[in-house]
Amino acid sequence: MILSFLVIWSLSALAELPPLIPRSVLFGNPEYGNPAISPDGTHIAYEKADTNGIMQIWIRDIAGKQDRQITHEQSTQNSGSASFWAYDGELLYLKDSNGNEMEHLFACTPSTGEVRDLTPFPGIKAAFIDREPERPNQVLITLNRQGKAVFDVWSVNLSNGALQPVMQNPGEVVQWIADASLKIRAAVGKGKDGSGELRLLTKENSWKTLYAWKTTDTVDIIGLSKDEKEIYLRSNKDADTTGLYAVETLTGRQKGVFYDPTADVQYALIDPVSRIIQAAWCYRLKPRWEILDKSISPDFAALARLPNSDMQVMCRDLEDRRWVVSCQSDTNAPGFYLWDRRERKVTDLFFSRPGLKRYTLSPTKAFELKARDGLSLPTYLTLPVGIEPTNLPVVLLVHGGPRQRDFWSYNYVVQWLANRGYAVLEVNYRGSSGFGKAFMHAGDREFAGKMQDDLTDGANWAIEQRIADPRRIAIMGASYGGYATLAGLAFTPDVFAAGVDECGFSNLRTFVENVPAYWKPFMTSYWYQLVGNPEHPEDLIDMEKRSPLFYVDKIKAPLLIGQGANDPRVKKQESDQMVAAMRKAGKQVDYIVFPDEGHGFSRPEDTRRFYAATEQFLASHLGGRFEPAEENESVDGFRQ
């Protein structure tokens, strides 16, 4: 009966949808990505695939508009962060191997294309601290050479690659702050109870506590002012939402810079040379900028005329004449522009996915959803274009973290699902970040409890609004979103018709006990708050009660699981044990494992394979349309 209904619905409704957007357009490499302007303002570095489909670094001469490829990676099996310019004119980037998150720092010389591994130590993780125009041949980094969870400060000489130790970590420091001459002047220490303190290195070479906060507070150190009289930070120490503040280095007195009572300040725009905070980026339902330095008001007024709603200043040259900015919206993938402040001129650089311009994308509605206990949940709904928004199949798409959030922006997964005929609901459940301290900590110890209720309330809202067919609602997500998928099927088995879990944890105890070593300093202020401490017997009992692994007998809906074999955060064991338990209980589960992936899928070919399988899976159980899988999208060799 259900199958015949799906066929009838597909024939009548799906035919009215706009043309299918190919997965190769949605999930392939972007045409262009991550542009960065050189310090002298003459060149743009960016990422673009070569003829073999491998992302490489390219250089564009701004004056001549000549482009050339400068790196020649041989494999897609290494994932890395975007490149950025050192002040000596070299390009730097961090790259791991097969998703293991043990990043090395690499330098590339644009004139020759020579690539050097500046931290060639197996099993050691590098992280970037700072660079400064006053020391163009030097950068500061951290390395965990003395222990997996302890990161010391090192200086890298870019001229010869020499590494010099700068400061040894006493064991509890989780962040280092440098001045304009790249000397360490401050640090953040974490207590065993999860509390934190900002320490200042005095002229007598001793540490003094300048600012302290509790486990439940969120504090993010931005950096020192140019004159070293203030340290800028994001904090909610004495407030609900996170605001911008300056702490005087002499007295420790806190001064307000900007505060929004409705949402956290997500980002501060800072002049990289003067170190002046120029603007604050806030975001409840949609983004907005608060200009703090009036000298850039004319720039933002001019850039507001660009076609999309969410504008970001990505980088700028040393003269501060040229800015690279990105713009996107719910129906537009990021575009990149060059803003010349002297000539008051915007030049198009790149559109990340020009292939999308031929297709119709679905707008996203932002609104506040009321949970059953009255809590207001910032929520996004994307409806398929061309069909009546009534009695639709729905995908409840759950973000990871959980202390992350959904945004009103271009989301390729959302657009893919809407194009296939699904309404997509994204609920910022309690525990999400960005909406204040009380909202975030309302998720503590609420895994499979009120956090999950918020998601169920979203599904019920869609039913009440007659948007959703109650028999055709799926839940889908990655990381915590994968856990929420498993919890949704196990604890509310009558709500969901299918589930798609990407690298989700199934047993809270084994997940917490096996996190990466470099997470250890943050466990008390993050995971122990959320789910408990496995060293406490009463917490272990509670963890088991909230772990879907022990409730597979209640699951009714089919499940698809995707996992990276090298995932250092959510170990493959989490998916293995869930699949084994479901198969033992005679439940329907499809398991896909990619051998060269970590936490999430970074290789475009694997992304396409997984979403091709997901598309077929959802179509089978919810009735949406699908694009037949191509030969290179087969997952037959990856099923376990």
> What tens digit of pLDDT does each residue of 195-220 get?
999 999 988 888 999 999 999 999 99
Q: With a cut of 90, say whether residue 52 has pLDDT above it.
A: no
Residue 496 domain-assigned (yes or no): yes
- Find the CATH number of the domain harbouring 597: 3.40.50.1820
Q: How many domains does the chain have?
A: 1
- Per the DSSP assignment, residues forming a β-bridge with 267 are 281
Residues 6+ away with beta carbon under 8 Å from 237: 211, 213, 214, 217, 219, 254
Question: What three-state secondary structure class fits 16?
Answer: helix
In the chain the first and final C-alpha atoms are separated, in Å, by 31
Question: What three-state secondary structure class fits 270?
Answer: strand
- Number of neighbours of residue 234 by Cβ within 10 angstroms: 20
What confidence category does residue 78 fall into, taking pLDDT thresholds of 50, 70 and 90? low
Q: With a cut of 80, say whether residue 103 has pLDDT above it.
A: yes
What digits encode the pLDDT tens for the residues 422-440? Answer: 999 999 999 999 999 999 9
- Per the DSSP assignment, residues forming a β-bridge with 143 are 126, 152
pLDDT at position 82: 79
Average pLDDT over residues 160-165: 95
pLDDT at position 6: 55
pLDDT at position 1: 43
289, 300 in Cβ contact below 8 A? Answer: yes
Neighbour-count burial for 536-567, b at 16+ CB within 10 Å, e otherwise: eeebbebbeebbbbebbeebebbbbbbbbbbb
Write down the residue that tokens 């274009």 correspond to: 385
- Per the DSSP assignment, residues forming a β-bridge with 233 are 221, 245
Average pLDDT over residues 587-594: 98
List Cα–Cα distances, 416 to 363, 478, 632, in angstroms. 12, 16, 19
Question: How far, in Å, CA of 559 to CA of 94, rounded?
Answer: 35
Q: With a cut of 50, say whether residue 117 has pLDDT above it.
A: yes
150, 137 in Cβ contact below 8 A? Answer: no
Question: How far, in Å, CA of 433 to CA of 405, rounded?
Answer: 6
Residue 484 domain-assigned (yes or no): yes
Q: Strands of 332-340's sheet, edge to edge?
A: 310-316, 322-329, 332-340, 345-351
What digits encode the pLDDT tens for the residues 501-525? Answer: 999 999 999 999 999 998 988 999 9
Residue 145 domain-assigned (yes or no): no
Q: With a cut of 90, say whether residue 394 has pLDDT above it.
A: yes
Please give the backbone phi and psi of residue 10, each rounded to the nearest 5 degrees, phi first: -60, -45
Structure tokens at 361: 């994308």
* Share above pLDDT 70 across residues of the chain, in percent, rounded to a whole number: 97
Residue 308 domain-assigned (yes or no): no
Average pLDDT over residues 440-448: 98
Please provide the average confidence, as pLDDT, over all residues in the chain.
94
Question: What three-state secondary structure class fits 399?
Answer: coil
Residue 475 domain-assigned (yes or no): yes
Residue 514 domain-assigned (yes or no): yes
Average pLDDT over residues 324-347: 96
Burial of 527 (0-12, 13-18, 19+ CB in 10 A): middle
Question: What three-state secondary structure class fits 12?
Answer: helix
Catalogue the active-site residues.
Answer: 479, 567, 599
Domain that residue 517 falls in: 2-23+357-638
Structure tokens at 38: 């050189």
Residue 135 domain-assigned (yes or no): no
Q: With a cut of 50, say whether residue 14 has pLDDT above it.
A: yes
Burial of 165 (0-12, 13-18, 19+ CB in 10 A): exposed
Closest CA to 53 of 76, 36, 72: 76
Residue 555 domain-assigned (yes or no): yes
Question: How far, in Å, CA of 71 to CA of 87, rounded?
Answer: 19
Residues 6+ away with beta carbon under 8 Å from 592: 560, 561, 562, 563, 609, 610, 613, 635, 638, 639, 640
Q: With a cut of 90, say whether residue 358 has pLDDT above it.
A: yes
Q: What residue ranges in 80-229 does DSSP mark as E strands? A: 84-85, 91-95, 104-108, 115-117, 126-131, 138-143, 152-157, 163-167, 173-178, 184-190, 196-201, 207-213, 219-224
